């Protein structure tokens, strides 16, 4: 298996040190510029990325608010054997090969693997039990 990164995520400078910086520039490799045709500001997207800070040897953990340990596959932890993560972001601006997005996740300096539009009817599935 071989993964190909399509770009890198850079945090945008916060105005004040006290600000929570959740704005990022996704700088795409020039070869992928045709792939962003159709993306527009205010569109929500799913960003798939490789978390460079994850601990890859964690198999058990105690999630926040939990009193019991869980297997990493039963958690949303960024620490996992293959730290391929997804985040929902909103596009703020598109300039040449750079997408500026806002997102609640911390994604500093992470390689981007894929970008897809977030489509609620497909991505917010309700299962009936």
Cβ count near 74 (within 10 Å): 11
> Is 129 part of a structural domain of the chain?
no
Question: Which residues, 6+ apart, have CB-to-CB distance to 92 below 8 Å?
Answer: 23, 41, 100, 101, 102
DSSP state string for 44-74:
EEEEEEE-TT--TT--EE--TT-SS-EEGGG
Domain that holds residue 15: 7-119
- C-alpha 67: how far from chain center: 28
Whether residue 26 lies inside any domain: the answer is: yes
Question: How many domains does the chain contain in total?
Answer: 1
CB atoms within 10 A of CB 54: 18
Name the DSSP letter for residue 62: -
Residue 87 within any structural domain of the chain: yes
Give pLDDT tens digits along the chain (129 positions): 898 999 999 988 665 555 556 899 999 999 999 999 999 999 999 999 999 888 999 999 988 888 899 999 998 888 999 999 999 999 999 999 999 999 877 788 899 999 999 998 888 877 766
Q: In CATH, what number is assigned to the domain containing residue 91?
A: 2.40.30.70
What is the structure's pLDDT at 48? 96
Cβ(9)–Cβ(112) below 8 Å = yes
Asked if 83 and 111 count as a contact pair (C-beta separation under 8 A), the reply is: no
């Amino acid at each position: 298996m071989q993964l190909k990164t399509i770009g890198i995520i850079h945090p945008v400078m916060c105005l004040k040190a006290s600000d929570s910086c959740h704005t990022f520039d996704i700088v795409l490799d020039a070869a992928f510029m045709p792939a962003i045709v159709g993306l527009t500001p205010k569109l929500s997207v799913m960003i798939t990325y490789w978390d460079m800070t994850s601990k890859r040897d964690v198999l058990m953990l105690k999630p926040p608010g939990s009193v019991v340990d869980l297997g990493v596959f039963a958690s949303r932890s960024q620490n996992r054997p293959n730290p391929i993560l997804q985040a929902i972001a909103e596009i703020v601006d598109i300039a040449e090969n750079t997408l500026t997005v806002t997102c609640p996740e911390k994604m500093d300096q992470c390689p981007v693997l894929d970008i897809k539009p977030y489509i609620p009817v497909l991505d917010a599935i309700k299962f009936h039990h």
